[in-house]
Amino acid sequence: MAARGPTAGRGHPLRTPNDMTPAVRTHQVTRYYPAARSDPVKAVDCVDLELALGEMAVVCGPSASGKTTLLSLIAGLDRPGSGRVELFGRPLAEMSDAALTLLRRTHVGLLFRDFKLLPGLSAWENVALPLVPMGTPLRQRKRAAAGWLDRLGVAEVADRPPEQLSGGQQQHVALARALVNDPQLVLADEPTSQVDAASAETILATFEAMVAHGKTVIITTHDPTLVRSCPRRYHMIAGRLEHRPWSSTSIVFSRCSWPRWGSPWQVY
């Protein structure tokens, strides 16, 4: 599906994705971080992953298992030590920094775990940040941002800076920013970690609507609601990704950390 909204009609470094091309494909992707006095830390270790357009996948796993690093590698924020990452059929290793940036601008929406909102800017200005270098006029930017904030139920905070928002509100604003450029691929790092159950349902519904429109969504989470609702689930531990079918949910959750919901055995 071709990009719509602000990205429509703009040149980008990728072919127009078709239904046959995987949206995301990683092959033996590895990312080690050097350690001063020990062996390198294996953040991501030989990860294979393939997602088609219109698919949603959830990755869970304990803290420091490499989920965020994996998302960074897929988004092109970081380069793998070895292996291959392809977005929409194009290997990221062959793309320049400018091409990668353009790819993120036009095709990728990123939701960071710690939101990464710019202090001092209002909520709507944060949401509209990806539209600034696209030349979108101020009024149109404000309208687009307000639309997403309204859709996520936080329209009333549009003019407030992040410092004056609760964690949940910040998460909504960050999600609105990830979606404002109508991306083909959404990478959401723990998108419901700060929100209540009702808001989590709203966020999930948003993702499901995007998938229904042919977008691809990858979520890292500890939220069982999200995990339950996703047909493709992966478990990551010590940098390795394992595909877990629905029947093995209990095993998956037994290895996850549960900051809010307690033991998975209590949930299920």
Comparison of 84 and 116: residue with beta carbon closer to other proteins: 116
Q: At closest approach, how far in Å is the CB of 39 from other proteins? A: 21
CA 117 – CA 31 distance, rounded (Å): 26
Q: Which residue is it, tokens 């499901």?
A: 208
Least Å from the CB of residue 182 to other proteins: 12
Choose between 99 and 267: whose C-beta lies nearer to other proteins: 99
CB of 64 to other proteins, least distance (A): 14
**In this complex, which beta carbon is closest to other proteins, that of residue 137 or of residue 262?**
137
Short-list 126, 201, 196, 204, CA closest to 160:
126
To other proteins, the closest distance from the beta carbon of 69 in angstroms equals 8
Determine the residue type at 14.
Answer: L
Shortest CB 72 distance to other proteins, Å: 5
> Which residue number, 70 or 157, has a Cβ lying nearer to other proteins?
70
Nearest distance from residue 148's CB to other proteins, in Å?
14
* CB nearer other proteins, residue 65 or residue 249: 65
CB nearer other proteins, residue 132 or residue 251: 132
Least distance between other proteins and beta carbon 57 (Å): 21
Bridge partner residues of 82 (DSSP): 30
Checking 29-37 for CB contacts under 8 A at 24+ apart, the result is 29/70, 29/73, 29/80, 29/82, 29/83, 29/84, 29/85, 30/80, 30/81, 30/82, 30/83, 31/66, 31/69, 31/73, 31/78, 31/80, 31/81, 31/239, 32/81
Residue position matching structure tokens 């036009």: 106
| Alpha-carbon span 121 to 232, nearest angstrom | 37
Nearer to other proteins, 20 or 139 (CB): 139
Comparing CA positions, the residue from 160, 195, 18 lying closest to residue 205 is: 195
- C-alpha distances out from residue 119 to 65, 161, 197, Å: 29, 6, 27
How many helices (H) and strands (E) are present in the chain, helices listed first? 9, 10
C-alpha dihedral, 53 to 12 to 69 to 97, nearest 10°: 160
Residue among 61 and 183 whose Cβ is closer to other proteins:
183
> By the criterion CB under 8 A, which residues form the site for other proteins?
72, 75, 77-79, 97-98, 101-102, 104-106, 110, 112, 116, 118-121, 125, 129-130, 132-138, 141, 177, 181
- The answer to whether 124 and 146 have CB atoms below 8 angstroms apart is yes
CB of 91 to other proteins, least distance (A): 17
